[in-house]
Structure 1
């Protein structure tokens, strides 16, 4: 699946969710269901392609500077938390995602991040994009127990694990974070 088509599907789900598309915290978050609905209109093989492309997109965000931003925003962030953060960042849409990967400090301008810095409710992360994608696969007629095998087969040679890219600043060093992520540090450390 080409990247423009992939982001277009995410955009359609965001449009369906309306003004509630930017915060994963509410228990009745409409975006995951909207994504399932959009994807369920596709053929199972296209949904598998969406899943493989999702891995590639989130892998492009596997970068130390973004992980440090997630650490500040979330008040700590381990491996699983950073996976959730990147999946949720995808759901914020192409523009926000692309800007955040290039400049993690840009996240300081998001209303949900500002609310979080004030101790109010909000969350960027999302537990797993696999949930809505797998649900769509089943609704589109794919064998429920075959989803993971189909994604693994389609992704063979395309999905690679590795170390995060970029320069790793010590997320627990407040001075280092003020230099690396000044806007986020102003919200969460000062």
Structure 2
């Protein structure tokens, strides 16, 4: 699946979620259900293509600077948390995602991040894009127990990097975080 088509499907789900697409809080987050609806209208093979491309897109965000930004925003961020963060970042749309991968400090301009810095409601992460995608696959007629094998076969080694890219620093070192992520540090470190 080409990247424009892929982001177009995410965009359609965001449109369906309406004004709550950027203001998500579990358990009433409308965006995963909207994504399921958009994808369920596709053939199962296209949904598998979407899943493979999702791994590639989130793999492009597997970068130390973004991980350290997630660490600041979430008050800590391990492996699973960073997977959730990247999946949720995808749901914020192409423009936000692309800007955040290039400049993680840009996340400081998102209203949800500002609210999180005030310890108000909000969360960027999403537990797993696989859930809504697999549900769509099954609803479109794909075999319930065949989703993961289909994705694995279609991906054939295209699933993303093993190690994060970019410069790393100790995310718990406030001075280094202020130097690398000044806007986020101003929000979360005072």
CA contact (8 A) 1:24 1:88 kept: no
1-structure distance, mates of 2:186, 2:141: 49
Q: 2:112 is matched with which residue? A: 112
Q: Shift in Å at residue 50 of structure 1?
A: 0.0
> Which string of whole-angstrom CA distances, capped at 9 and with x for unpartnered residues, describes residues 42-82 of structure 1?
00000000000000000000000000000000000000000
Identify the residue that residue 49 of structure 2 maps to in structure 1. 49
Structure 1 match to 2:63: 63
Normalising by structure 1, we get a TM-score of 0.99
Q: Count matched residues.
A: 190
Matches within 5 A, 1:142-161: 142-161=142-161
> Hey, what does 2:169 align to over in structure 1?
169
Asked if structure 2 preserves the Cα contact closer than 8 Å seen for 1:24 and 1:126, the reply is: no
**Structure 1 runs, 4 residues or longer, greater than 6 Å off:** none
Provide the C-alpha distance between the structure 2 equivalents of 1:23 and 1:47, rounded to a whole number of angstroms.
26
Equivalent position of 2:24 in the other structure: 24
Residue correspondence of structure 1 range 76-95 to structure 2 within 5 A: 76-95=76-95
Which residue matches 1:75?
75
Which residues of structure 2 form unaligned runs of 5+?
none
RMSD of aligned Cα (Å): 0.7
CA distance in 2, matches of 1:23, 1:69: 19
Which residue number in structure 1 is paired with residue 127 of structure 2?
Answer: 127
